[in-house]
């Protein structure tokens, strides 16, 4: 299926989605040089619900692989514009991993087409993301330790001089992390998420001291740092297959401060378990230098934005449990 889909900056000449036929996709992949001689597309499926991009699993007579394409908007929320160039940041993140220990935990890139914002990558197989942590309300220590090790190695990578600033995507993320959740009239239908959640959110929107700290950390998020970040290091980006751990979706990557990745990681461990110990626990195993107070503040901000912002999680908790998490998050920000 070929279309001319106008973006704010360019044209997507080839657009793929779950409705494309095997024959049409095979023609596209042949044109791109992404199929072997005699290779035929047998089946197309959607490997999981993607928030930002279109993701397809392609099964051929020889192998399976993943196709990922960025649109000039957020796939889950088409009314929210987003720069399709984010796929280039993801590609360069993978290319920047020089340490074999890190490479082993990320999918291999098989092809990249700049003009169509399209990546062909290794199919990791029968994996599931770790959002199941929210339901189990506990975390396997061996998996957590491995994820901390992976992040430590990523943060220790040399920063390429030409690494993307990724500012346009960061500005979108900044708005949804540091601004909108704390705006009283943001249009988020929290009571449709859970009855009573809107009222529960009000004290955090009205807390001037809290909002000032959030704004300060938000400015740091937009500044350039010195550390290669994944940028969205949470259970939706963590995949497990038997005892193997993989990390995906580094499109929010940028050169920033390590406390951002660490704080996001800690936030989701705390939301899954309702145990605040994970800030210290993660930092004990992290093989780098980080400011514990800043990690705590980032974690608290991430918890608040996930609980009262647009980007909701499969976090099935009572209002009382969410009230506890919100209060914990505020304490972690205010220190």
pLDDT in tens, 45-61: 998 777 899 999 999 99
The CATH number that domain 2-122 falls under is: 3.30.200.20
The model's confidence at residue 63, banded by pLDDT at 50, 70 and 90, is: very high
* Three-state secondary structure call for residue 109: strand
Q: Note the pLDDT of residue 129.
A: 93
The model's confidence at residue 18, banded by pLDDT at 50, 70 and 90, is: confident
For 55-81, what is the mean pLDDT?
94
* Mean pLDDT over each residue of the chain, to the nearest integer: 93
The model's confidence at residue 12, banded by pLDDT at 50, 70 and 90, is: low
Q: Note the pLDDT of residue 160.
A: 85
Above 50 in pLDDT, residue 6?
A: no
The model's confidence at residue 243, banded by pLDDT at 50, 70 and 90, is: confident
Q: 128-334: which CATH architecture?
A: Alpha-Beta Complex (3.90)
* Three-state secondary structure call for residue 143: helix
pLDDT, tens digit (0-9, with 9 covering 90-100), for 271-293: 999 999 999 999 999 999 999 99
CA distances from 28 to 116, 118, 123 (A): 11, 12, 19
DSSP character string of 175-230: IIIIIGGG-TT----HHHHSTTHHHHHHHHHH-HHHHHHHHHHHHHHHS--SEE--
pLDDT, tens digit (0-9, with 9 covering 90-100), for 185-217: 999 999 999 999 999 999 999 999 999 999 999
The model's confidence at residue 1, banded by pLDDT at 50, 70 and 90, is: very low
Phi and psi angles of residue 66, each rounded to the nearest 5 degrees, phi first: -110, 135
Q: Note the pLDDT of residue 161.
A: 86
Total count of residues recorded for the chain? 335
pLDDT, tens digit (0-9, with 9 covering 90-100), for 80-117: 999 999 999 999 999 999 999 999 999 999 999 999 99
> The tokens of 141 are what?
């220590």
Above 90 in pLDDT, residue 250?
A: yes
The model's confidence at residue 9, banded by pLDDT at 50, 70 and 90, is: very low
For 313-325, what is the mean pLDDT?
97
The model's confidence at residue 10, banded by pLDDT at 50, 70 and 90, is: very low
Q: Note the pLDDT of residue 154.
A: 98
Q: What percent of the chain has pLDDT over 90?
A: 87
Fold agreement between 2-122 and 128-334: no
Q: Note the pLDDT of residue 76.
A: 87
Above 80 in pLDDT, residue 11?
A: no
Question: 81 - beta bridge partners?
Answer: 73
Domain limits, the chain: 2-122, 128-334
Q: Which residues of 58-80 are buried (b: 16+ CB within 10 A; e: fewer)?
A: bebeeeebbbbbbbbbbbeeeee
């Amino acid at each position: 299926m070929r279309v001319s889909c106008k973006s704010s900056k360019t044209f997507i000449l080839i657009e793929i989605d779950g409705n494309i036929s095997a024959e049409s996709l095979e023609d596209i992949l042949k044109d791109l040089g992404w199929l072997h001689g005699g290779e035929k597309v047998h089946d197309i499926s959607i490997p999981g619900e993607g928030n930002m991009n279109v993701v397809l699993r392609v099964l051929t007579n020889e192998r399976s692989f993943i196709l990922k394409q960025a649109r000039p908007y957020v796939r889950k929320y088409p009314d929210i514009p987003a720069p399709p160039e984010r796929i280039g940041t993801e590609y360069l993140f993978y290319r920047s991993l020089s340490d074999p220990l890190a490479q082993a935990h990320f999918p291999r890139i098989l092809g990249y087409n700049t003009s169509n914002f399209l990546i062909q990558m290794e199919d990791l197989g029968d994996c599931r993301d770790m959002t199941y942590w929210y339901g189990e309300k506990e975390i396997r220590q061996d998996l957590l330790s491995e994820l901390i090790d992976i992040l430590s190695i990523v943060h220790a990578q040399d920063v390429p001089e030409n690494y993307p600033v990724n500012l346009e995507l960061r500005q979108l993320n900044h708005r949804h992390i540091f601004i909108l959740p704390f705006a009283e009239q943001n249009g988020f239908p929290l009571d449709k998420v859970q009855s009573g959640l809107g009222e529960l959110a009000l004290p955090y929107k009205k807390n001037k001291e809290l909002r000032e700290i959030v704004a300060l950390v938000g400015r740091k998020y937009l500044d350039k740092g010195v550390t290669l970040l994944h940028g969205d290091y949470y259970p939706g980006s963590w995949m497990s297959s038997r005892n193997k751990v993989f990390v995906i979706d580094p499109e929010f990557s940028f050169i920033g401060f390590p406390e951002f990745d660490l704080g996001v990681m800690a936030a989701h461990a705390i939301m899954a378990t309702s145990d605040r110990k994970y800030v210290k626990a993660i930092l004990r195993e992290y093989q780098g230098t980080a400011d514990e107070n800043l990690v705590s503040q980032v974690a608290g901000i991430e918890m608040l934005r996930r609980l009262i912002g647009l980007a909701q999680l499969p976090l099935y908790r009572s209002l009382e449990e969410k009230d506890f998490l919100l209060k914990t998050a505020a304490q972690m920000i205010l220190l």
